[in-house]
């Protein structure tokens, strides 16, 4: 058994079109829907998000983020022997966005597959890659979260369309003798499918049911606050660490109120909370690796720091990963 897997490089990519709350409010007003910068900032902490152009897919965003992560790790694409992409907005029904990404990277042969755990997709994908590395099935994995949520937003529903954005984040995860990923804790509870879903499906050449995102925001909010604390505590316990050991907390970037509430429950000063929701909105599976890369590149997160990653969302699925950078 390889003792550890460790992140050796991070990368991210945001499509260039930045849409502020004011831009969005103007667009929605033209459709007779009222919202405001004040409401969005006060309820969510979001000031802007990025939207991909119509011809740009999740694997395009993933490719840009992956190239950065591979370069940061001092590797080349040919070193990658496993690709795991977390996405709920794949390029096609099949094959996986991971296979499409593999081809864009100009490599072939290594296993490549998608993980579908919505906003907790990245912690699921990282945990799967960690397990495959520690059991000797891979040595140098590319783990990506990539989304074009703008494609599944209902722009007549102000309670959801102001919340989400597009983007991708990636890490290279390598076999290591030094501690990297220390512990993970994953959960799901399928009885909550209905509170956050895109219920539509393809059948006989037609889309059956709504292909747009539906969310009971308050129900999701309440569950998220509870499970994020539980997952963090369980992960700390598995790793033999305590909340005071955490250098940085990167929760799923959905709502600043949920994120600050989680930090407070873990008795962490807000300076230890990595926040990108203000500029990215909620990018689902991409939000955690995007925030991680921003924090690494800004010099906040440094080698050796203890970082808690936490995802929560549709499924209901949630989880946490504790790691040394």
Does the active-site annotation cover 161?
no
Query: What is the side-by-side strand order in the sheet with 112-115?
Result: 4-13, 166-176, 140-148, 82-86, 112-115
| Closest to ligand UT7 by CB, 6 or 158 | 158
**To the nearest whole angstrom, how small is the minimum distance from the Cβ of residue 257 to ligand UT7?**
7
Out of 252, 255, 280, 324, the active site residue is 252
Tell me how far apart the alpha carbons of residues 274 and 163 are, in angstroms, rounded to a whole number.
18
**To the nearest whole angstrom, how small is the minimum distance from the Cβ of residue 163 to ligand UT7?**
6
**To the nearest whole angstrom, how small is the minimum distance from the Cβ of residue 261 to ligand UT7?**
11
**To the nearest whole angstrom, how small is the minimum distance from the Cβ of residue 74 to ligand UT7?**
33
| Closest to ligand UT7 by CB, 7 or 14 | 14
**To the nearest whole angstrom, how small is the minimum distance from the Cβ of residue 286 to ligand UT7?**
11
Residues 6+ apart with CB under 8 A from 95: none
Which residue number is nearest to ligand UT7 in terms of Cβ? 217
Does the active-site annotation cover 282?
yes
| Closest to ligand UT7 by CB, 25 or 294 | 25
What stretch of H or E contains 68? helix 58-72
Does the active-site annotation cover 119?
yes
Q: Which residues of the shown chain bind ligand UT7 in the complex (CB under 6 A)?
A: 35, 39, 43-44, 119, 158-159, 162, 196, 217-218, 220-221, 224, 254-255, 258, 282, 312-313
Packing angle, helices 58-72 and 287-297, rounded to 10: 30
Inter-residue contact 48 to 87 (CB < 8 Å): no
What stretch of H or E contains 113? strand 112-115
C-alpha to C-alpha distances, 268 to 139, 192, 242, 278, nearest whole angstrom: 34, 29, 11, 20
* Residue 312 tokens, joined: 């929560």
Beta bridge partners of 320: 185, 310
**To the nearest whole angstrom, how small is the minimum distance from the Cβ of residue 217 to ligand UT7?**
3
| Closest to ligand UT7 by CB, 44 or 96 | 44
C-alpha to C-alpha distances, 33 to 25, 28, 63, nearest whole angstrom: 8, 5, 35
Side-chain-side CA neighbours of 120 within 13 Å: the count stands at 27
Out of 99, 119, 140, 161, the active site residue is 119
| Closest to ligand UT7 by CB, 166 or 174 | 166
| Closest to ligand UT7 by CB, 35 or 116 | 35
Residue numbers annotated as active site: 119, 252, 282
């Amino acid at each position: 058994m390889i003792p550890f897997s460790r992140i050796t490089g991070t990368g991210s990519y945001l499509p260039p079109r930045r849409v502020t709350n004011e831009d969005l409010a103007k667009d929605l007003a033209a459709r007779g829907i009222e919202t405001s910068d004040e409401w969005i900032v006060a309820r969510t902490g979001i000031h802007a998000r990025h939207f991909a152009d119509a011809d740009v897919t999740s694997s395009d965003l993933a490719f840009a983020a992956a190239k950065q992560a591979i370069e940061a790790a001092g590797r080349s694409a040919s070193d990658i022997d496993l690709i795991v992409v977390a996405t709920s907005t794949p390029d096609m029904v099949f094959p996986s966005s991971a296979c499409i990404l593999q081809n864009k990277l100009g490599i072939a042969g290594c296993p490549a597959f998608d993980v579908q755990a919505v906003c907790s997709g990245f912690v699921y994908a990282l945990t799967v890659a960690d397990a495959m590395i520690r059991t000797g099935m891979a040595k140098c994995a590319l783990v990506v979260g990539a989304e074009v949520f703008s494609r599944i937003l209902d722009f007549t529903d102000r309670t959801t369309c102001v919340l989400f954005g597009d983007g991708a984040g990636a890490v290279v995860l390598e076999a290591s003798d030094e501690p990297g990923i220390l512990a993970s804790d994953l959960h799901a509870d399928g009885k909550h499918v209905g509170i956050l879903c895109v219920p539509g499906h393809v059948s006989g050449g037609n889309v059956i049911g709504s292909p747009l995102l539906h969310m009971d925001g308050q129900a999701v909010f309440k569950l998220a606050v509870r499970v994020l604390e539980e997952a963090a505590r369980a992960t700390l316990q598995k790793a033999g660490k305590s909340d005071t050991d955490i250098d940085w907390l990167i929760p799923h970037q959905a709502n600043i109120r949920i994120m600050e509430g989680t930090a407070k429950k873990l008795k962490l000063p807000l300076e230890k909370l990595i926040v990108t929701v203000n500029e990215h909105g909620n990018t689902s599976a991409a939000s955690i690796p995007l925030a991680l890369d921003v924090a690494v590149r800004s010099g906040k997160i440094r080698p050796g720091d203890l970082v808690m990653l936490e995802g929560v969302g549709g499924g209901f699925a949630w989880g946490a990963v504790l790691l040394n950078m």
